[in-house]
Amino acid sequence: MRGKKGLTIYLICVLLLVCFITTAYSQTETDEETAAPDITTWTQLPDDHQEVDLAQPCMLCHNLTVDATTTATKQMVRSGKKLGKSVLWDRIATYLSAGQKTNTFVLATCSNNIPLSTTCDQMLDNGKKVMYAFFEVGTEKVAHIQDNPYVSMNWHKPWENNFSTVLCIQIRGRAELFDGSSKVFDEAVLASFPTIPKENRDQLAARAKENMVVCRTNIDQVVLFDGTLLGQGLCSYQMWRSLETYKPTSYTKKGDMPLGE
């Protein structure tokens, strides 16, 4: 009798173990089949997507990767009538008074995933399509650029509560630093102070070379937000690129940025 009871208990334990293993395997298999795919910030909701509460963020189910350009900007740049590349550049150069005066930009840098924004005067060289600025040696933004040359800067006209007059220019590029021993330093002085008499400009350059470096930013991309274009039947967002081969990862993966013109 005791033997039969022991056998019964043994069989029950085996059955429970089989059920447990089967259930665990089925759950794992189901989880794998329903795993949400990775998406980017510009992924569109497919028609066959399961019903969801649109108030909930997508990252609750999906791994979200960043393309470094907002979906809104991408869609606005894609839609509407575009200016020709050379016409667009001339418009940007005019707004920034290229070769005539500097503009105060907000410059954004990043090092070790720690961002920094600072204001600085920048001069656009229309022919070379670069920006020149003078930075004091030892400042944090100089250290950032030495570690990570990819920068972004922004200039805009003060908001007038009217989208038809809004004007904003966003620039992305690669920054290089040059000290007073480089000919680029003298080129930057000449480009940045074209109206100053040569004697005064030489004196200014001599003082600057003692404790400053030149930052030359090679422009890769410019996004122009120009409300006045709406009245001309054009898209208010226009994008200029030195090359047309950029892709979303160009600004998120090292070594993926093609060299500009």
Q: pLDDT by residue (tens digit) across 132-163? A: 999 999 999 999 999 999 999 999 999 888 88
User: Would the pLDDT of 4 be above 70?
Assistant: no
Quick: pLDDT tens for 175-231.
999 999 999 999 999 999 988 898 999 999 999 999 999 999 999 999 999 999 988
pLDDT at 137: 94
**6-20, 35-49, 231-245: the lowest-pLDDT one:** 6-20
pLDDT at 57: 66
Quick: pLDDT tens for 77-128.
555 688 999 999 999 999 999 999 999 999 999 999 899 999 999 999 999 9
Q: Which pair of tokens denotes residue 7? A: 């056998």
If one compares 53 and 123, the residue with the highest pLDDT of the two is: 123
pLDDT at 155: 97
Angle at CA of residue 74, ends 69 and 80, nearest 5°: 155
Integer CA distances (angstroms), 173 to 147, 163, 243, in order: 15, 27, 12
pLDDT at 31: 47
Hey, where are the domains in the chain? 70-244
User: Which CATH fold topology does 70-244 show?
Assistant: Pnp Oxidase; Chain A (2.30.110)
DSSP string, the chain: -HHHHHHHHHHHHHHHHHHHHHHHHHHHHHHHHTPPPPEETTPPPPTTPPP--TTS-GGGTS-EE--SS-HHHHHHHHSS----HHHHHHHHHHHTTTTT--EEEEEEEEETTEEEEEEEEEEEETTTTEEEEEEETT-HHHHHHHH--EEEEEEEPPP-S-GGG-EEEEEEEEEEEE-TTSHHHHHHHHHH-TTS-HHHHHHHHHHHHHHEEEEEEEEEEEEEEEGGGGGGTS-SEEEEES-S---GGGGTSTT-PPP--
Quick: pLDDT tens for 228-250.
998 888 888 898 988 866 655 55
**Max avg pLDDT among 35-44, 60-69, 121-130, 245-254:** 121-130
